[in-house]
Structure 1
């Protein structure tokens, strides 16, 4: 292979560049060691030796000497917050907010982080004060988002509504469904206080914000029901069916009661049967079985349960079927075996009766509109865990999707 002459130039050049880089690196290291104060190295040593309090004192001393170490303090405070040592994070951020040497942007950031510290520590009034102080800053959108979370924690729904609209003005995305729930929560407070006109007004605001908010329709139906306006109540609940029929189990008992008050039992049974067929639910099935038993007797109710369980087998359904079958039976040997079988099934179905969040998997015996685990709205469907395993539906996407029978 012929040796090319340009290598004679390239090899010395590469060697020279490497030598120069090494020299510059040594000078840079020496310069950094000369510029960093001794407190910095003391702080690192304390941190490595798991003496965080002394490390903070040392790093604060660095900040008092050198204004270029602000980011070090932000990183240190963030580390403390992640470890759950909120009091230490507060101490660092409070120190930064009082320094005159830092830039306005860094002071705003320190104030924001301090507000987050207070929020995580549950010191809500101090958190609110910190976030409000940023209303005219470049971090107003971030602070407003934290205020929204704070007001949800405080259940200050009127403030949450105002903050959500402000966030939208800032260009942030706040789902209309979430704001509609804020109105519903406010309406629920008025219902508890007995102020039904104000409750209705807030529910109308909820529907104006999100026409598909099923909760508002259900609550309006409940208000009409308490006012003995049964026709209007049924109308509202039927509107809920058009929005998202999977939430009908929440009003099944009241719907049947309304039909009875109107002396239209056959129509009520037909409606419940249609719902059970199109949107299978063990809760609706139990309401339907009760309605049939009240009007046609226990044998007809048992036949209905058996037919429905055969059409859509489930342990929850089998448990209710056995419970119904064992009513009033004598304790002969066969019945005792049947009771034992039912007891075993009942123990197993306790965990299957829970509601499940489709976002984080949180499970609870009680239904929640907002998941206590992940704080998402509408992530829990009022259907039991076993039903979701066999007939999965989405809380937000199954509004008009009938279930398939098997």
Structure 2
């Protein structure tokens, strides 16, 4: 025996022989496991990619069938469950979408992030299904999660649909406070702008409810709070001026009615100062208030200045109602030639409505045909005098603070369709 190896123990040769055998067995086992994994993965991706192909081709029913097959092959895959639940919701099958997301929530192996995601998806299912009570409960569970801001916005929309203005106002204050603290950007949704104007709308809606209940004092207090909340918003002052005029009309003494009209006039002048762009909406009630309290001259001057900066049909009609003189070189206007304002307006704006109003007082060569022509012009101008939502294009004869079509706030410009 070699004396240099005599110190080695006798069992070492067996260990040296066992190492290659163990390596060979491990390699063989890994090959068998790899083959099994490849067989499983071959089935799962095939169903998954088939479903994805159907989805890209907008064949949602076939995509759902393919994803169901993929989920059956691998029931522990949460992403497939999310995809399947979203497909059910998009197709309008809300009951099956709810079951998918409830199944995800019942699993104990989900991470916290996936659990919160499933809770958010379940809330969306309830919202789309119109189950507002269930949606509210599901959304409340998202407080303190990355979906908190999205949940609060959804709850805000819920309370608006239910016309629960006090609850909507509470959420709007929370969102506005969170934004002031810099919380909104990191809460799953980026907040754009302040919620103060919307909160002012909620207060105005509550004031309308108080008026319906004959609580004029409570309505006036709410409108003053709305003005303090959003000083630049025109609606609270317009609504307050309307209330002041109503209270004055109910008074028995002429002096009380005149004082109420003066207060309304001051309120509307303040609205012009805060929001000059809303002048077309303010002009008509301002004219009535000015005529009721004898303030035609200062109001006329103010409206003439606004019209010179931005001519509009509503300001034009207000100036005619106040018998405003035409600007130079026309000079002073008598009651008979106030229609000259329409020609003056046509010099600035190509307005079919103004042309129709001017033509209504003219004598034509064939006067017997004038009613037919006038009727056709009036009919043609009616669509041009509507208001149009800037968000969805919904048109209406009257101005809305909230669009009846898309439910957006302040989406109606103060100008008519012809002036846009």
TM value normalised by structure 1: 0.74
C-alpha separation between the residues in 1 aligned to 2:242 and 2:72?
A: 63
The residue aligned with 2:381 is: 349
The separation in 1 between residues aligned to 2:38 and 2:85, in whole angstroms, is 24
How much has 1:87 moved relative to structure 2? 3.7
**Matched residue of 2:384: which SS?**
coil
Output the CA distance in 1 between the equivalents of 2:413 and 2:356. 22
| Cα displacement (A) at 1:27 | 8.9
Shift of 1:161: 1.7
- For residues 109-135 of structure 1, the C-alpha deviation after alignment (integer angstroms, 9 at most, x for no partner) is 112111112112222111111101222
Aligned residue pairs total 355
Out of 135, 141, 147, the residue aligned to residue 149 of structure 2 is 141
- The aligned runs of 1:263-302 (5 Å cut-off) are 263-292=294-323, 299-302=336-339
Pairing 1:58-97 to 2, within 5 Å after superposition: 58=69, 61-62=72-73, 66-67=75-76, 69-97=77-105
Q: Within 5 Å, give how 1:3-402 maps onto structure 2.
A: 31-34=37-40, 41=47, 50=61, 58=69, 61-62=72-73, 66-67=75-76, 69-170=77-178, 171-172=183-184, 173=191, 175=194, 176-228=196-248, 229-292=260-323, 299-323=336-360, 325=361, 334-388=366-420
Q: Using a 3 Å threshold, how does the CA distance of structure 1 residues 224 and 266 change in structure 2: closer, same or farther?
A: same
Q: Which runs of 5+ in 1 are unaligned?
A: 1-23, 389-406
For the 8 Å contact 2:71–2:80, the answer to whether it is kept is no
For the 8 Å contact 1:292–1:300, the answer to whether it is kept is no
Aligned equivalents of 1:313 and 1:47: distance in 2? 53
1:70 is displaced (CA, Å) by 0.7
Do the aligned residues in 2 keep the contact of 1:39 with 1:58 (CA within 8 Å)? no
On the 8 A contact 2:238/2:271 being kept in 1, the answer is yes
Change (3 A) 1:32 1:346: farther
Q: Deviations over 1:227-275 (max 9, x none)?
A: 2211111111011111222323323333222222223444444444444
Query: CA 1:39 to 1:280, structure 2 compared with 1: closer, same or farther past 3 Å?
Result: closer
- Give distance in 1, aligned partners of 2:374 and 2:207: 42
The verdict on how the C-alpha distance between 1:314 and 1:363 changes in structure 2, with shifts beyond 3 A counting, is same
**Is the Cα contact below 8 Å between 2:389 and 2:413 reproduced in 1?**
yes
**Contact persistence 2:165–2:205 (CA under 8 A):** yes
* Inter-partner Cα distance in structure 1 for 2:149 and 2:410: 25
2:82, 2:40 → 1: CA distance? 24
User: More displaced, 314-323 or 201-210?
Assistant: 201-210
CA RMSD of aligned residues (A): 3.6
| 3-state SS in 1 of match to 2:243 | helix
The structure with higher relative contact order (CA 8 Å, sep 6+) is: 1
In the TM superposition, what whole-angstrom CA distance separates every residue of 1:261-317 from its partner, at most 9, and x where no partner exists? 223444444444444333322123223334439xx9862332333333344331111
SS in 2 for 1:368: coil
- Which stretch of structure 1 is more off in the superposition, 188-197 or 264-273? 264-273
Q: Relative to structure 1, is the Cα distance of residues 46 and 270 closer, same or farther in structure 2, using a 3 angstrom cutoff?
A: closer
